[in-house]
Chain A
């Protein structure tokens, strides 16, 4: 069963604005990963943050992790129309470390030009 919950389910912004997506989970984790999926396509790995990390950056992406609240956020700065996609968080549970990922419900991001 899916343990991750993401909010918002859908987000529509204008080009140049920042987009923030949140993910909550229920079990202790080894790491948390964010993926992007364009409509009808496979998943692209964006960033991985380990349980002992609090913040990580990659280009225009910034990910935070709060293990006490069991939540993570993905911030995309200076968004572009090409960022339009679905974004999923996925947790690697501590008890099954590395053997499976549990995906959140996803956030559909639309960046209007």
Chain B
């Protein structure tokens, strides 16, 4: 099946710093990528939808200036958490959508654990 990677898998940073997370589709082109956040023992919450070559669409309550998303190519989307605070500590998961006449599937990355001290 299709593979989506995330880097880094785990990051610890100090409060006030910015952290960039990469999401790559390794063997297919993804016109759309999604970014989710998951707090412990909770479900995935969609943060934003990222389309290649255009601005991301953010969900209600998600600050676009704090969570910067760039989808510069069909295989790479990045999420930058700016001026991170302890409440931003979470598990961030991306997914990449591939679709065509007979298929429409999202493939999920392994996630990035962010801990802000």
Contacts and interface: CB of A to CB of B under 8 A. Distances in A.
Contacts of A48: 105
A41 B44 contact: no
A41 to B, nearest CB: 6
Interface string B14-54: 00000000000000000010100000011111100100000
Interface of A: 2, 4, 35, 40-45, 48, 88, 92, 98-106, 108
B97 A98 contact: yes
Contacts of B109: 42
Max chain A C-beta neighbours (<10 A), residue from B105, B106, B109: B106
Contacts of A88: 43-44
Nearest to B44: A103
Nearest to A99: B49
Contacts, number: 50
A22 B107 CA distance: 23
Interface residues of B, number: 25
Contacts of A105: 42-43
A38 B23 CA distance: 20
Contacts of B49: 99-100
29 contacts: A2-B45, A41-B111, A42-B93, A42-B108, A42-B109, A42-B110, A42-B111, A43-B44, A43-B95, A43-B108, A45-B105, A45-B106, A45-B107, A48-B105, A88-B44, A92-B104, A98-B97, A98-B99, A99-B32, A100-B34, A100-B49, A101-B46, A101-B106, A102-B46, A103-B44, A103-B45, A104-B43, A105-B43, A106-B42
A98 B97 CA distance: 9
B42 A43 contact: no
10 shortest A-B CB distances, which residue pairs? A42-B110, A43-B108, A103-B44, A103-B43, A42-B108, A42-B111, A98-B104, A105-B43, A106-B43, A42-B109
Most buried by A among B6, B91, B104: B104
Contact of B43 (A2, A40, A45, A99): A2
A102 B1 CA distance: 22
